[in-house]
Amino acid sequence: MTLRIILADDHPIVRSGVRALLENHADASVVAEVGSPMELIGAIEQLSCDLVITDFSMPTGLLADGLQMLGMIRRRWPELPVIVLTMVGNAGVLGAIRATGVRGLLSKSDALNELTLAVQAVTHEREYLSSAVRKALEHTQNTGLAGNPPTLSKRETEVLRLFASGLTVSEIAAQLNRSVKTISRQKMDAMAKLGLRTDLDVYAYAREHGLVN
pLDDT tens per residue, range 101-134: 999 999 988 877 789 999 999 998 999 999 889 8
pLDDT tens for 48-99 read 999 999 998 886 666 567 888 898 999 999 999 999 998 887 777 888 888 8
What pLDDT is attached to residue 182?
A: 93
Nearest residue to 162 via CA among 73, 57, 84, 72 = 57
Mean pLDDT value across residues 176-203: 88
Beta bridge partners of 33: 7
Q: Residue 192: is its pLDDT beyond 90?
A: no
What pLDDT is attached to residue 53?
A: 96
Q: How confident is the model at residue 44 (pLDDT cuts 50, 70, 90)?
A: very high
Fold adopted by 154-208: Arc Repressor Mutant, subunit A (1.10.10)
**Mean pLDDT across the chain, nearest whole number?**
86
Gap between the Cα atoms of 50 and 189, Å rounded: 42
Q: Residue 146: is its pLDDT beyond 60?
A: no
Task: Classify domain 3-141 at the CATH class level.
Answer: alpha beta
Q: Which comes out higher in pLDDT, residue 52 or 162?
A: 52
Contact 15, 24 (CB under 8 A): no
Gap between the Cα atoms of 11 and 18, Å rounded: 11
Q: Where are the domains of the chain?
A: 3-141, 154-208
What pLDDT is attached to residue 80?
A: 96
Q: What is the pTM of this model?
A: 0.72
